[in-house]
Chains A and B, each alone.
Chain A
Amino acid sequence: MADFYKNILERWQNISTHRFFWPVFFAAGLAFSIVASAFDILDLYLQLILIYVGINIILTVSLNLVNGYMGEFSIGHAGFMAIGAYTASLLTVNVFPAGALNYLFPLAIIAGGVAASVIGLIVAIPSFKTRGDYLAIVTLAFGMIVKSGLENIEVIGGPRGFLGMSKLTTLPWVFFWTVLSVWIIRNLVYSKFGRGVLSIREDEIASDLMSVNTRQVKIIAFVVSSFFAGVAGGLFAHALQFINPRMFDIIKSTDILIMVYLGGIASIAGSIIGAVIYTILLEILRPLGIWRMVLMPLMLVLLMIYRPRGIMGMREARFFVPLRDLLAAKLWKQKNKEAPDASA
């Protein structure tokens, strides 16, 4: 029996690390989501939950880059989400011609991401001058500023919020953006910048002394992270078709933090698991009413005590690891066997 499972596991590992795995997975998923939403294979409620799962995955993976991989502590992710949400919504409602919205929607999402990342850059530059909990404090204040700033801009509805968006966020689009953000962040992690990010978490001074431009690396990570928070915000706004500043307050940021640390720091698989479990559990426990909100934090505390690094905690599913990294050591050993005195 154990052999049977081992066999399947090995099969899966072989398949999942195949060169064509990602493209095929992407195409198949996209095709399925298009079919599913076009022919009502999944009922609307299920589709909506899947949309939220996708958005939460984007938020979690992107925050994990800063909080998990880099080991900093940002609590302002919802603020970047808000910037993306408002930017994209303003574009689709007030700027883009209504007839072409379906085609211009990706542009609105990208604009939301860009706006968020520009603000991210402005936040990052002073924040990374000093170490410690400084980023936590700055992002905390930043989140508050965004929320109360939005509440004071009357043209976008102030505290009452902003509406008029069409339901442009569909399952295929969410799938597309989710895979894209996972792929890009995974690419960043497995590059010299990603190693820079990790080495900063491990030992910033040693990292700098090993030629890593720590300031540059931190800023890149933070900007990429806020870009995808903005993307998620844009998708969120066009799924709900209504936004107000309170949706992006500190409680929302805390939600994202919980998904990151639930799934596990410094792990893409963990981020996905965290986002999926959290989103679905909240739905399943809905009948409990308010007690669900009592139960969830309790579970989080227990998880932290018994598994402080989250479910996946610094481990990665193999199919997120590029082949080069996965096989480097193995190939090296093979090469050395062929030419035994290569190292002499």
Chain B
Amino acid sequence: MPLLEMKNITHRFEGLCAVANFNFQLTQGELVGIIGPNGAGKTTVFNLITGVYRATEGSIFFNGDELVGKTPHQITKMGVARTFQNIRLFKELTVLDNVRTAYFGEATYSPLEALLHMGRYRREETKITERALELLSVFQLDNAASELAKNLPYGLQRKLEIARALATNPQLLLLDEPAAGMNPNEIKQLMDFIGWIRKTFRLTIILIEHQMRLVMGICERLVVLDFGATIAQGLPAEIKSNPKVLEAYLGEEAAK
């Protein structure tokens, strides 16, 4: 059974068809890239999987369970986590609290236990805090734990966003342009880093990216979107020489 299966997914914003008849399968452990020119509908695909938008048509299965119609936090609890194209950290919260917030779904204590700080609250909070710090130390962010997220340098903010996503304990991680604004050297580091978290956390990953270097370097398979339509799918090498893809990108280049 595929980990994620999207069947005939179509999404329209009042007339604008952002994703058209999208079909996609993902097996456990894969690292797949979604590429395409600006406005192609890549982020919309992530929003549809995570329940931010509800697909106009079609269905999405994760481990055999239908995702369409579920709320984002339900979907996150089922094992899908993501980052955002334009970093969306909780800016005024500390680094530690950014990560601890993501344990919401896992903590089981009730509102009443929280109001009175009863036993289960204390046990679980201690555990959550420790695990959050452990996770941060894996990302070498533990020294900044009590820093406000907005005060971190850009690169670390991106890292923190990934750490926060991993705190929800996902099987599937969706990365939306993680290399945006990075120089080639940083991109190289990021590539290694993604490979490493993938192994360490046994993740399946979908990656949206404009940086061809990154995509071609680490993705096992690529999907190319253009104006919402899937114009190609396949191995990076095939995609590189696909005339349709070249046209989509060159067309965009020529327009600029």
Q: Closest CB-CB distance, B102 to chain A, in whole Å?
A: 4
Q: Does A224 contact B (CB under 8 A)?
A: yes
Q: Closest CB-CB distance, B141 to chain A, in whole Å?
A: 11
Stretch at the interface among B15-23, B113-121, B244-252: B113-121
Q: Closest CB-CB distance, A198 to chain B, in whole Å?
A: 6
**Given contacts A192-B109, A209-B82, A343-B142, A203 and B104 within 8 Å (CB-CB):** no
Question: Which chain A positions have C-beta within 8 A of B140?
Answer: 343
Stretch at the interface among A5-13, A32-40, A322-330: A322-330
Q: Does B157 contact A (CB under 8 A)?
A: no
**Given contacts A196-B104, A208-B72, A336-B137, A328 and B114 within 8 Å (CB-CB):** no
Q: Does B100 contact A (CB under 8 A)?
A: yes
Question: Which chain B positions have C-beta within 8 A of A196?
Answer: 101, 104
Query: Who on chain B is nearest to A196 by CB?
Result: B104
B-contact 0/1 string along A308-344, CB 8 Å cutoff = 0000001000000010110011001100100000110
Is the pair B117, A208 in contact by a Cβ cutoff of 8 Å? no
Is the pair B142, A192 in contact by a Cβ cutoff of 8 Å? no
Near B by CB (< 8 A), chain A positions 201-248 give 201-203, 205-214, 220, 224
Q: Closest CB-CB distance, B77 to chain A, in whole Å?
A: 5
Q: Does B73 contact A (CB under 8 A)?
A: yes
Q: How far, in whole Å, are A202 and B77 apart by their CA atoms in the complex?
A: 21
Is the pair B114, A191 in contact by a Cβ cutoff of 8 Å? yes
Question: Which chain B positions have C-beta within 8 A of A328?
Answer: 96, 129, 133, 145
Question: Which chain A positions have C-beta within 8 A of B117?
Answer: 187, 191, 322
Is the pair A202, B104 in contact by a Cβ cutoff of 8 Å? no
Near A by CB (< 8 A), chain B positions 27-72 give 50, 52, 71-72
Is the pair A195, B168 in contact by a Cβ cutoff of 8 Å? no
Query: Who on chain A is nearest to B94 by CB?
Result: A329
Most chain B CB within 10 A, of A220, A224, A314, A332, is at A332
Q: Does B188 contact A (CB under 8 A)?
A: no
Interface residues contributed by chain B, number (CB under 8 Å): 51
Q: Closest CB-CB distance, A24 to chain B, in whole Å?
A: 17
Is the pair A206, B84 in contact by a Cβ cutoff of 8 Å? yes
Is the pair B93, A214 in contact by a Cβ cutoff of 8 Å? no
Question: Which chain A positions have C-beta within 8 A of B182?
Answer: none
Is the pair B82, A213 in contact by a Cβ cutoff of 8 Å? no
Query: Who on chain A is nearest to B118 by CB?
Result: A187
Q: Closest CB-CB distance, B44 to chain A, in whole Å?
A: 14
Is the pair B100, A202 in contact by a Cβ cutoff of 8 Å? no
A-contact 0/1 string along B82-106, CB 8 Å cutoff = 1010001111110011001111111
**Given contacts A192-B114, A336-B142, A205 and B88 within 8 Å (CB-CB):** yes
Is the pair A202, B90 in contact by a Cβ cutoff of 8 Å? yes
Q: How far, in whole Å, are A179 and B138 apart by their CA atoms in the complex?
A: 40
Query: Who on chain B is nearest to A210 by CB?
Result: B102
Is the pair A210, B76 in contact by a Cβ cutoff of 8 Å? yes
Q: How far, in whole Å, are A242 and B105 apart by their CA atoms in the complex?
A: 47
Q: Does A199 contact B (CB under 8 A)?
A: yes
Is the pair A195, B92 in contact by a Cβ cutoff of 8 Å? no
Q: Determine which of A188, A208, A210, A332 lies in contact with B142 in the assembled complex, contact meaning CB atoms within 8 Å.
A: A332
A-contact 0/1 string along B127-141, CB 8 Å cutoff = 011000110011010
Q: Does A282 contact B (CB under 8 A)?
A: no
Query: Who on chain A is nearest to B137 by CB?
Result: A343
Question: Which chain B positions have C-beta within 8 A of A193?
Answer: 111, 114
Other than the given A192-B103, A336-B142, 4 more pairs (CB < 8 A) read A202-B93, A207-B101, A208-B76, A325-B129
4 closest A-B pairs by CB: A211-B105, A191-B114, A202-B90, A343-B137
